[in-house]
Amino acid sequence: MTATIALVDDDKNILTSVSIALQTEGFVTRIYTDPEAALKALTDNPADLGVFDIKMPQMDGLELLRRLREKSQMPVIFLTSKADELDEALGLAMGADDYISKPFSQRLLIARIRAILRRAEISRTPEAADEPPSDPIVRGRLEMDPPRHRVKWDGKDVTLTVTEFLILETLAARPGVVKNRNQLMDAAYQDDVYVDDRTIDSHIKRLRRKFREVDPDFNAIDTLYGAGYRFSEE
């Protein structure tokens, strides 16, 4: 099935050029210059993935994502300026799957879109991607069901994005084994898509925050400075 990409940006030139590039690659696009209109449309009928600009008048991309997350876990990529490091961190903390700094390569954007859609499809229906169903992972109070993209801690549901799920799965697969940032990048970002260390660190911080929302004492993901991260089975 052809994937539908929602583009939200107040810059019509960017919307037009990105839309044409995506359509050339076989995607269906829905474009919005008004974030309020985008919110209503995507709440009623989510796309397969959204690409949101952060800096927009009336409602910025961060607020759009925050309000959308109340109803949908649709994957989202943020477009940011090089100076928006704080906004990038906030976006990841709020549930964005990735970000790309302007000016950006359309080839890079398309590669990241394909990678996120592929991971989302594998998480939903592994058989459709010619992947064998994964066995459930149980590590102490952690339960992961990869085929259904479900996570529980102490029996309580924890909602994760595809990227967060893959990072946690990589850590939980071998408790006590340290995974460096490159290994976590390889697990979460395929197709030679470049991300920097800060992106992985932000995902780890967001993972901890989400688990601490259901268990304030959660401390199963350890940081080993200069080495990486590990999952500690209790």
| Ordered structural domains, the chain, with CATH | 4-123 (3.40.50.2300), 137-231 (1.10.10.10)
pLDDT digits (tens, 9 = 90+) for 53-101: 988 988 999 999 999 988 888 999 998 875 555 666 677 777 788 878 7
The residue with greater pLDDT, 146 or 121, is 146
Average pLDDT taken over every residue of the chain: 84
103 preceded by a cis bond (ω within 30 of 0):
yes
User: What secondary structure does DSSP assign to 79-131, as a single string?
Assistant: EEETT-HHHHHHHHHHT--EEEEES--HHHHHHHHHHHHHHHHHHH-GGGGT-
Helices 106-124 and 162-173: crossing angle, nearest 10°?
60
C-alpha of 234 from chain center: 27
Give 190's pLDDT tier (boundaries 50, 70, 90): low
Q: How far apart are CA 234 and CA 224, in angstroms?
A: 17
pLDDT digits (tens, 9 = 90+) for 25-60: 999 999 999 999 999 999 999 999 999 998 898 899
| pLDDT at residue 3 tops 90 | yes
Residues above pLDDT 90, as percent of the chain: 49
| pLDDT at residue 150 tops 80 | yes
Stretch (H or E) spanning 6? strand 4-8
Give 16's pLDDT tier (boundaries 50, 70, 90): very high
pLDDT digits (tens, 9 = 90+) for 125-137: 544 444 445 678 9
* Residue 195 main-chain phi, psi, to 5 deg: -135, 155
Give 197's pLDDT tier (boundaries 50, 70, 90): low
> Mean pLDDT throughout 97-106?
81
Q: Are 204 and 167 in contact (CB under 8 A)?
A: yes
Q: Are 52 and 80 in contact (CB under 8 A)?
A: no
Say what the pTM is. Answer: 0.65
| pLDDT at residue 104 tops 90 | no
Identify the pLDDT of residue 192.
Answer: 52
